[in-house]
Amino acid sequence: MIRLDDTSRPPSQTRVVVAMSGGVDSSVVAALYAQAGYDVVGVTLQLYDHGEAMHHRPGACCAGQDIYDARTVAEKLGIPHYVLDYESRFRHAVIERFADAYAAGETPIPCVDCNRTVKFRDLLETARDLGADILATGHYVTSRALEGGRRGLFRPLDESRDQSYFLYATTQGQIDMLRFPLGETTKPEVRALAESFGLKVADKPDSQDICFVPNGHYTAIVEKLRPEAAEPGEIVHLDGRVLGRHAGVMRYTIGQRKGLGIAASEPLYVVGIDAARRRVLVGPRSALGVSAIRVDEVNWLGDEPLEAAAAAEREIHVKVRSARAPTPGHLVRAADGGIEVHLHNAEEGVAPGQACVFYEDGGAGARLLGGGVIRRAPQPFTAVTPEVTMMARSA
């Protein structure tokens, strides 16, 4: 069920800025608010060169076609629509960080950086300048009121569409102004709504690629911005054997098996990346599991302070990849003051640069408690007794 009834003023006196990407989800959000009588303004972000974007292939978001589609939907709904030029801030906050991460041997998540900065910091500020009471998007996550007047984010009804992993860095102040009406619905229902509103984007395919990587080959962008990431180096086995050469650490991520370019008698996986020495470390699958994760840039959304939660070793569930189910663990304050997550069961493919996202529990509709960036490459997991917790050290 889609709810829009969480404002204290009548709809006609409530201005809603809708971030319209040109896809079916945000288009339906705009239509729902417009139909309910809200004062709706559509905004689309131009994030890179529009001329180049016009040549992007289908499946890439934020392209010229998407801007055109968003404008067409706004005209259909009879609402004002603005295109904001955020190219320079997007390049600095997202594309440059993306290249930096690969050059450092990490695996970034540009959608998290985009949400954290361009969309829910810069766009939210613009929405306020436009007199907005609410900024609404088409993300699949649920927003609900909490005790004390704050709002919280929760995993959506349709777990196959869950986008809460990419929203962990949203701050409490941002959450209080944001609305996500599609959290309690499913994609087929959204497409049916688009049909009922007469929107031409009802059957538009979902975006699949990173929006600024039009051909799917991110290495071309990284090499252009950070050529050192394409410098060749050694592929080294855990036992110290040099098995071959690679054409740049940017081509590898923890857990990768295919495309290693080496011959071996057993399946081998990337278990570590040493960008400083241009080395890619490989080993058997058994070397992939880790039980402790160091996180940085933590955004905490729990009711108690982060320091108290870590000191009490609060039980949480975490995702280390967007498509995985939450797994149990607990917070720990490290000896140097940093935050670690200790897992009850080993997780594979835990890659620096990815997100470790916290949830209150592992069930459907679980509350999002924040998360952080995985910064330390952990050592392989070692089985331990229940009384002992493995500590991750630098690889």
Query: Cα(236)–Cα(128) distance, rounded to whole angstroms?
Result: 53
24 is in an annotated binding site: yes
Kindly report the backbone phi and psi dihedral angles of residue 345, in degrees, each rounded to the nearest multiple of 5, phi listed first: -135, 145
CB of 287 closer than 8 Å to CB of 380: yes
Closest CA to 135 of 179, 100, 165: 179
Closest CA to 245 of 258, 255, 236, 254: 236
Query: Cα(242)–Cα(108) distance, rounded to whole angstroms?
Result: 27
Structure tokens at 58: 């289908």
25 is in an annotated binding site: yes
394 is in an annotated binding site: no
329 is in an annotated binding site: no
Going along the chain, which residue ranges are E strands? 15-19, 39-46, 81-85, 134-136, 142-145, 151-154, 178-179, 233-237, 242-246, 269-274, 279-283, 290-300, 315-319, 327-333, 339-347, 355-359, 368-374
The owner of tokens 């998007």 is 137
23 is in an annotated binding site: yes
22 is in an annotated binding site: yes
Closest CA to 352 of 320, 389, 317, 322: 320
Query: What is the amino acid identity at position 323?
Result: A
Active-site residue set:
114, 211
Cβ atoms within 10 A of the Cβ of 300, count? 21
138 is in an annotated binding site: yes
How far, rounded to the nearest angstrom, does the alpha carbon of residue 24 sit from its chain's CA centroid? 20
The runs of H, that is alpha helices, within the chain are: 24-35, 50-53, 64-77, 87-90, 96-103, 110-114, 123-129, 172-177, 187-196, 218-225, 306-311
Query: Cα(282)–Cα(262) distance, rounded to whole angstroms?
Result: 10
Query: Cα(346)–Cα(350) distance, rounded to whole angstroms?
Result: 10
54 is in an annotated binding site: no
Query: What is the amino acid identity at position 229?
Result: A
Kindly report the backbone phi and psi dihedral angles of residue 335, in degrees, each rounded to the nearest multiple of 5, phi listed first: -60, -30
Is residue 33 helix, strand or coil?
Answer: helix
Annotation: binding site for ATP: 19-26, 45, 138
